[in-house]
């Protein structure tokens, strides 16, 4: 079990992670999502023992991770910027075999075959996506309890992405592997994570499940009569809105039932409830936390 207790990570005077707390049971797939520079990679580096936190503790089954070889044998870190120690696919496998006692070479090659990667294929001749596939295969074959993926799906095609997501889900269900995914692209991990940490400005602004995150908000397209004034209503009840030809797309920080009652008070011409995506919910969360890029005009 991973326990993160009051972790603070600083770079000089800059606080990259502020007072983070986390408890991760085996088999969890955690998504670390946040804006650019929110501290996702720093958290992963701290959790994998690359960085040493200034305050707090990172414990795996009660053991600190920093410079702890025994703990690190159970962690695989897929960095944002890949590094290949070997020149070929085979070398990469051999490299990781030295470090991870449960590395499954057979599985690695099996995965490589599935993704049409040759053993002798030079890494430098691989495309960005292929390099990620090699590393993904290494991560899956490593046989560790915790896999950390930092922007790991970036560059993978949709088929490969979905395949790896299935494989990771299988790993977590069958072997109890924890997968921690850091990304800013929520679409990549839709239907993948069973828990989400939303990060903004070095802080965890939400630690929730995808379902809960989605249920927090309701979006409706409301058609209003001409000259209807919704200013007061929007200011009071709506977290974000958009208006086109008297059709308002309103997002509420309320459940669907509560929203329904509210909208009825407007006497709209028509109402259509729209299913929110994880990304929509994430954007709303960030906007509510103060992250919004507005007042930009192209022309």
Query: Which of helix, strand or coil describes residue 242?
Result: strand
Nearer to another protein, 73 or 254 (CB): 73
Q: How many residues does the chain have?
A: 299
How far does the chain reach from its first CA to its final CA, in angstroms?
53
- Minimum Å gap between C-beta 15 and another protein is 15
Nearer to another protein, 69 or 158 (CB): 69
Task: State the Rg of the chain over Cα.
Answer: 22
- Minimum Å gap between C-beta 220 and another protein is 45
CB 21 within 8 A of CB 206: no
Is 101 a binder of another protein (CB under 8 A)?
A: yes
CB 22 within 8 A of CB 197: yes
Q: How far is CA 260 from the centre of its chain?
A: 31
Edge-to-edge order in the sheet of strand 218-223: 238-244, 247-252, 218-223, 270-274
Is 82 a binder of another protein (CB under 8 A)?
A: yes
Is 81 a binder of another protein (CB under 8 A)?
A: yes
Nearer to another protein, 20 or 144 (CB): 144
- Give the range of 30-38, 45-53, 165-173, 184-192 binding another protein by CB under 8 A: 45-53
Is 57 a binder of another protein (CB under 8 A)?
A: no
Is 104 a binder of another protein (CB under 8 A)?
A: no
Max Cα-Cα span within the chain: 71
**Which residues make up the interface to another protein (CB under 8 A)?**
11, 45, 48-52, 67, 69-73, 75-77, 79-83, 85-87, 91, 94-95, 97-101, 148
């Amino acid at each position: 079990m991973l326990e993160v207790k009051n972790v603070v990570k600083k770079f000089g005077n800059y606080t990259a992670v502020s007072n983070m707390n986390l408890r991760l049971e085996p088999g969890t797939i955690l998504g670390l999502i946040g804006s650019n520079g929110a501290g996702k990679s720093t958290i992963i580096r701290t959790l994998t023992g690359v960085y040493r936190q200034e305050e707090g503790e990172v414990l795996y089954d009660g053991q600190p991770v920093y410079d702890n070889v025994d703990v690190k044998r159970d962690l695989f870190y897929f960095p944002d910027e890949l590094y290949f120690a070997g020149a070929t696919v085979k070398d990469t496998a051999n490299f990781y075999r030295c470090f991870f006692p449960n590395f499954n070479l057979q599985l690695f090659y099996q995965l490589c075959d599935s993704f049409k990667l040759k053993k002798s294929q030079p890494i430098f001749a691989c495309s960005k996506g292929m390099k990620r596939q090699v590393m993904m295969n290494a991560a899956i074959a490593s046989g560790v309890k915790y896999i950390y993926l930092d922007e790991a799906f970036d560059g993978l095609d949709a088929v490969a992405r979905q395949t790896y997501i299935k494989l990771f889900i299988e790993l977590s269900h069958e072997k109890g592997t924890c997968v921690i995914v850091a990304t800013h692209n929520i679409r990549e991990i839709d239907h993948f994570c069973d828990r989400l940490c939303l990060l903004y400005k070095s802080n965890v602004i939400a630690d929730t499940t995808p379902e809960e995150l989605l249920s927090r908000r309701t979006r409706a397209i409301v058609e209003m009569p001409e000259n209807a004034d919704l200013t007061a209503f929007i200011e009071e009840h709506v977290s974000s809105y958009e208006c086109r030809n008297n059709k308002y797309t309103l997002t509420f920080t309320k459940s669907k039932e509560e929203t329904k009652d509210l909208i009825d008070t407007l006497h709209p011409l028509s109402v259509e409830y729209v299913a929110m995506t994880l990304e929509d919910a994430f954007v709303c969360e960030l906007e509510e936390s103060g992250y919004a890029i507005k007042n930009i005009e192209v022309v």
